[in-house]
Amino acid sequence: MRAVIQRVSRASVKCSSGHSDEIRTGLLIFLGIEDSDNREDLEWLSGKISRIRIFDDGAGIMNLGLTEVEGEVLVISQFTLHASTRKGNRPSYSKAAAPEISEPMYNDFLKQLEKDAGIIVKKGVFGDHMEVILVNDGPVTVLIDSKNRE
């Protein structure tokens, strides 16, 4: 699993199905699921995100986690995180898991993150066309890959 995490002062999603959601201070997470991802990847990534300390403390040092700042979370599924640009100019998405695999894993990830972070996780709609608006705070953007454990 691959996640792009952005520390935001606000973010929102508007889906083609009509669903919309928004958060204030917190994390916007773009989540990509690969063919070989499994429950272990899901649990590791959720735990890492729920504990990551990328919010400023009183001294302006990134030393606080999501729960300490009472932050919110918005998760957006994004298969393009597994794009390969090795050949030619049109990315290949062959490593991205098929929807019948990735959609249940996406939903399980949402549940696991709610459990690990102890908050309600807001989300986009899997497979929908989405417009995502964000105000990146910092800017702070972190890439985490469960296969590399970094």
Whether 109 is a known active-site residue: answer: no
Measured CA to CA in angstroms, residue 28 lies from 45, 59, 96, 100, 141 at distances of: 14, 24, 20, 24, 9
For residue 116, which of 55, 51, 40, 54 has the smallest C-alpha distance?
A: 51
CATH topology of domain 2-145: D-tyrosyl-trna(Tyr) Deacylase; Chain: A; (3.50.80)
pTM confidence score: 0.95
The model's pLDDT over 61-101, given as tens digits with 9 standing for 90+, comes to: 999 999 999 999 999 999 999 888 888 898 888 888 999 99
Whether 25 is a known active-site residue: answer: no
The 3-state DSSP class for residue 44 equals helix
Active site residue: 6, 30, 55, 78, which one? 78
Active site residue: 30, 55, 79, 126, which one? 79
User: Is the distance from CB of 63 to CB of 16 less than 8 angstroms?
Assistant: no
Whether 78 is a known active-site residue: answer: yes
Backbone angles phi, psi at 53, to 5 degrees: -110, 90
